[in-house]
Amino acid sequence: MSSPFLSVENLSKSFGGVQAVSQVSFELEENKVLGVIGPNGAGKTTLINLLTGFVRPDTGKVLFKGQNLAGLRPYKIANLGVARTFQMVKPFYQLPAFKNLVLPLRSPRARHLIGGRYGDLDAVAKDLLEEVGFERDSWVIYKHASVLPHGYLKRLELARCIALSPELIVLDELFSGLSLAEVASLVPVIDKLKVQGKTIIMVEHRLRELFRIADQVVVMNFGQKIADGKPKEVMEQQSVREAYLGSEEEEGGDA
Amino acid sequence: MAKRLERLDRGIKVRSDDIFALNSWREMLYIIAPRVLPVLLLLVVGVWASTYWQRVIMQVCMIGLLAISWDLLAAVGMVSLGQALFFGIGAYIAGVLNHYLGMSPWLTIPLATVGGAAVCTFLLLPVLRLRGIYFSMVTLILPLMIERIIEATKVFGGTEGLSGIESLPQGMTELIAAMVVVWIALFSFTRMMNSDYGLILKGINDNDRAVMSAGLNIYYYKAQALFLSSGVAAFAGAFITHAYQFVGMPVFALDYSILPIAAAAVGGMGTLAGPLLGCFILVPMNELLRGLGGMRTVIYALLLVVFTVGLPEGIFHYIKRKYTQFERWVEVDS
């Protein structure tokens, strides 16, 4: 392969006087899991928004399989195979859980990959929900999203993301607000996605779980990349320790 | 001993995957009656009514279309305060085509429906990005602006308007046509909103960012919803123009923007049938109170307040709940 799977070059974004992301560059190989960590306000979520088109970068490029994603609209990027989840869950509250997946399944990309626009989308949706850990044939998948507990909504968020059959999955704090048991049951789901050949970018505060999954870690602080490499190497760097020690109480708590 | 109201769904809709199993004529009737009875009832009342009340019913149907159109837009998250824009543009297109080109109503009404929808969609295309109150503000201003433009430039008859427009076949034909269109609009749009396509539209109302991340172009879908909605309202405008044989500046009046919203508030939003029901209450009530002169508006407004305070969910939601659920008081031990 001539061009890398994902290559981010000098990505910058400022909101007013605040430099949320400044001159961030990194590369990611196919079928690897990249963890993005850093203290609160480090620009992790802005980075995700820049990658998926929800925020337009001031400067810089996002090359996905050689194509520049910077400046494209979110739905176009999704149809190119970069799907994301939101930190604050965004389900369609008026719809039953399985009907939530009909929307991504109606997207041009999913239609093209599943083939045929009149296929039974409900059945596909139920398969997807089973994949992320919903019990098949349980009442839960018929319930409106407005009455589902947080743990299920996070799974729904992930299901909506993989319904697009993406090549690159961007997870924005998937584990936040979940109990240890719930996180433990989601980790195998992500492992399975990796086995299927997906490339994953995870923004996470739960370092222990993240380091078990991640192949590569990017550490951010005040909008800048301060470290990049294998999880163990990164955590031994002095600058990373300083960034984290400064906010030990907030960040170290759940790690 | 405290008591609480327990509600149970009537066990008609047995869900076996996606098929609703109906076991008897009684169950079939349970599903069909609420849909067929209003259609028959309106037909019977329409046939027996005096010529004056037939006209009122025709007017109710047209305002009903405006209300359905409003509710459709609201279901996609676009709260319009300017139904008069859609209504007026449809009315003027039909009027102009008939007055200057002498086209028959059978040609002008379809042309005004499609043309009106296209014009309105084009006019509002730049503001589709706006959400919530900002979209509402623009739609509120546009019809008032067009009214002033017509007054200032004196196009299409200016303040006088265009009169002597060819009428529709008087009496029953006009009335039946109005009814048929209302029922077609109601049932087809209800069906559409329950299809997968409708799910996307509802999803945009729920969470537009999530729809974008699902790989769907929300502006494309919003524009389609706007086209459908403004088409329905433009039809109402064109129909009224031919029925009254006149088109003028009043078609852009605030009344046509406010009435659908009042109807939706009374009838119940988000159901399409609710706003239509609201029209069947508000418009005839307005006619009945006509003899009271100046007091009419006061009583009308009071009734609106009573409805909204007494049944904030809307009449249709209330009836639907009573129809589909058993209710009983059960004792709670605490």
Tens-digit pLDDT profile for residues A125-171 = 888 888 888 887 788 888 888 888 888 899 999 999 998 889 999 99
**Which one-letter DSSP state was computed for residue A166?**
-
Please state which CATH number belongs to domain A33-42+74-214+222-246.
Answer: 3.40.50.300
Query: Model confidence at A201, in pLDDT bands (50, 70, 90)?
Result: very high
Residue B118, pLDDT above cutoff 90? yes
Mean pLDDT of B282-297: 83
Residues of B in contact with A94 (CB under 8 A): 202, 205-206
Q: What pLDDT score was predicted for residue B296?
A: 79
* B176 or B165, which is more confident: B176
* A35 touching chain B per CB within 8 A: no
Query: How far does Cα A173 stand from its chain's mean position?
Result: 7
Relative orientation angle of helices A150-162 and A180-195, to the nearest 10 degrees: 10
Q: Which of B116, B53, B55, B59 is nearest to B259 (CA)?
A: B59
Q: How many whole angstroms separate alpha carbon B81 and alpha carbon B135?
A: 9
Q: What is the CB-side half-sphere exposure of residue A44 using CA atoms within 13 A? A: 26
**Which one-letter DSSP state was computed for residue A97?**
G
Q: How many whole angstroms separate alpha carbon B95 and alpha carbon B115?
A: 13
Domain count, chain B: 1
Domain ranges of chain A: 33-42+74-214+222-246
CATH number at residue B129: 1.10.3470
Residues of B in contact with A165 (CB under 8 A): none
Tens-digit pLDDT profile for residues A52-98 = 999 999 998 899 988 898 889 999 999 999 999 998 888 888 888 88
Tens-digit pLDDT profile for residues A219-246 = 988 888 888 888 888 888 888 877 776 6
Q: How many whole angstroms separate alpha carbon A131 and alpha carbon A162?
A: 10
Q: What is the DSSP string of B187-205?
A: HHHHHHHHSHHHHHHHHHH
Nearest to B217 among A75, A93, A103 (CB): A75
Residue B119, pLDDT above cutoff 90? yes
**How far does the CA of residue B85 sit from the closest CA of chain A (Å)?**
30
Question: Which structure tokens are listed for B44?
Answer: 């019977």
Per the listing, tokens 């996609």 go with B76
Q: What pLDDT score was predicted for residue B121?
A: 93
Per-residue burial over A91-107, b if 16 or more Cβ lie within 10 Å, else e, is: bbbbbbbbbbbbbbbbb
Q: What pLDDT score was predicted for residue B16?
A: 41
Query: Which of B205, B213, B218, B224 is the best mutation test for A, with the most CBs of A within 10 A?
Result: B213
Q: What pLDDT score was predicted for residue A199?
A: 93
Residue A26, pLDDT above cutoff 50? yes
Query: Model confidence at A33, in pLDDT bands (50, 70, 90)?
Result: very high
Q: What is the DSSP string of B31-68?
A: HHHHHHHHHHHHHHHHHHS-HHHHHHHHHHHHHHHHHH
Q: What pLDDT score was predicted for residue A235?
A: 81
Contact B93, B234 (CB under 8 A): yes
Q: What pLDDT score was predicted for residue B280?
A: 92
- Pairing label, strands A67-68, B14-16: unpaired
Contact A36, A44 (CB under 8 A): yes
Residue B334, pLDDT above cutoff 70? no
Query: What percent of chain B clears pLDDT 90, i.e. is strictly above it?
Result: 40
Q: How many whole angstroms separate alpha carbon A89 and alpha carbon A97?
A: 13
Nearest to A103 among B18, B211, B217 (CB): B211
Q: What pLDDT score was predicted for residue B133?
A: 86
What is the span of the domain harbouring residue B216?
3-331
Closest alpha carbon within chain B to A103: B200
Q: How many whole angstroms separate alpha carbon B190 and alpha carbon B205?
A: 16
Residue A253, pLDDT above cutoff 60? no
Query: How far does Cα A247 stand from its chain's mean position?
Result: 24
Mean pLDDT over each residue of chain B, to the nearest integer: 87
Q: How many whole angstroms separate alpha carbon A81 and alpha carbon A79?
A: 5
B174: CB partners within 8 A, 6+ apart: B58, B168, B243
Query: What percent of chain A clears pLDDT 70, i.e. is strictly above it?
Result: 93
Instruction: Inspect the interface and report whether the beta carbons of A90 and B210 lie closer than 8 Å.
Output: yes
Mean pLDDT of B271-278: 92
Mean pLDDT of B270-291: 88
**Which one-letter DSSP state was computed for residue B250?**
G
Residue B309, pLDDT above cutoff 60? yes
Query: Model confidence at A119, in pLDDT bands (50, 70, 90)?
Result: low
